[in-house]
Amino acid sequence: MTASVKRLSVKNLSYRLGQRTLLDNISFDLKAGECVALLGANGAGKSTLLKLLLRLIAPASGHIELAGMPLSTLKRREIARHIAYVPQHHHPHFPFTAWQVVMQGRLPVNGMVRSPSPQDISRVELAFEENGIAHLSARIYTDLSGGERQRVLITRALVQDTPVILLDEPVNGLDYGHQLHLLMQLKTLAAKGYTLLMITHQPEHALMAASRALVLHESRLIADGAPSEVVDSALISRIYQTQVQQIDLNSGHRVFIP
Ligand SMILES: Nc1ncnc2c1ncn2[C@@H]1O[C@H](COP(=O)(O)OP(=O)(O)OP(=O)(O)O)[C@@H](O)[C@H]1O
């Protein structure tokens, strides 16, 4: 996998709800090896954009290509072989264990087989170990804490073994240590050639983990570039309507102080 491989291509994408334009003429490409932070105030349209990329909803106009193919022509299973999704919330209707929830990530890989293959079982076992959640595997998913559930959903996305992973506020509910661990994990996955698109409300996380930042504001994509060039006090003031002081440390890190 090389960094020039285009995984997702979005051209002149617009989405409307009734009279309201939620996304207006958005264009960008996502390539192999990129970890992209998607920023924007509440209601800016970030989750809507992810839903369009997953074809859960259809655009008013514009075009999306996944691995060079028009998204609109792909079967759902083909999309699931290319894109995994970590939602903000997941509400199973049955008392599944964490193991069963993660195993659902293998469905697009093996189809509707009745029972998991030995390869599925070893893939899931490894993922539970690697993500430090082996102790949760037999627990009922809905009994878990918010942060524990989030770690299960991230593990489910990883066992899907897709080149693209979309994450809707993935650090939500995670404690400080697990937030940093996840951000470093995403960076490592990008270095291995995965394409990651993560919604975040924390500008520092874009600076820490992402190779690129996309910013939605008033229905439009107002910035697309290296986080160090895009995410600064002027952007924060513009999109969040709040003043912060920006401090650039000698180490190359940037912090914001209210
Ligand atoms: N099905 C729907 N019906 C009505 N309004 C909707 C629907 N889906 C989205 N919206 C509206 O569209 C706007 C964008 O929603 P979206 O969830 O994409 O925002 P977001 O940037 O992800 O916000 P947040 O940061 O709060 O999660 C919001 O004003 C939301 O209320």
Pairwise CA distance, residues 90 & 99, whole Å: 15
Residue located nearest, by CA, to atom 6 of ligand 1? 17
Strand partners of residue 167: 86, 198
Out of 38, 42, 215, mutate this one to test ligand 1's pocket (max ligand atoms within 8 Å of CB): namely 42
pLDDT in tens, 162-197: 999 999 999 988 889 989 988 998 999 999 999 999
The tokens describing 13, both together, are 């994408």
Average pLDDT over residues 34-54: 96
In the predicted model, is pLDDT for residue 1 greater than 50?
no
Assess contact for 165 and 189: CB atoms under 8 A: yes
Average pLDDT over residues 23-36: 97
**Band of residue 133 on the pLDDT scale cut at 50, 70, 90:** very high
Residues whose CB falls within 8 Å of the CB of residue 227, separated by 6 or more in sequence, listed in order: 37, 206, 207, 210, 211, 212, 213
ipTM for the predicted complex:
0.96
In the predicted model, is pLDDT for residue 39 greater than 60?
yes
Assess contact for 192 and 186: CB atoms under 8 A: no
- Model pLDDT, residue 112: 60
Angle at 77 between CA 73 and CA 82, to 5 degrees: 85
Whole-number Å distance, alpha carbon 236 to ligand 1 midpoint, is 20
Out of 46, 53, 56, 197, mutate this one to test ligand 1's pocket (max ligand atoms within 8 Å of CB): namely 46
- Model pLDDT, residue 48: 96
pLDDT in tens, 4-22: 789 999 999 999 999 999 9
Residue in the structure block whose two tokens are 């209601």: 43
Rounded to two decimals, the pTM is: 0.92
Estimate to the nearest angstrom the gap between the alpha carbon of 249 and the chain centroid: 28
Ligand 1 atom at minimum distance from 88 CA: 27
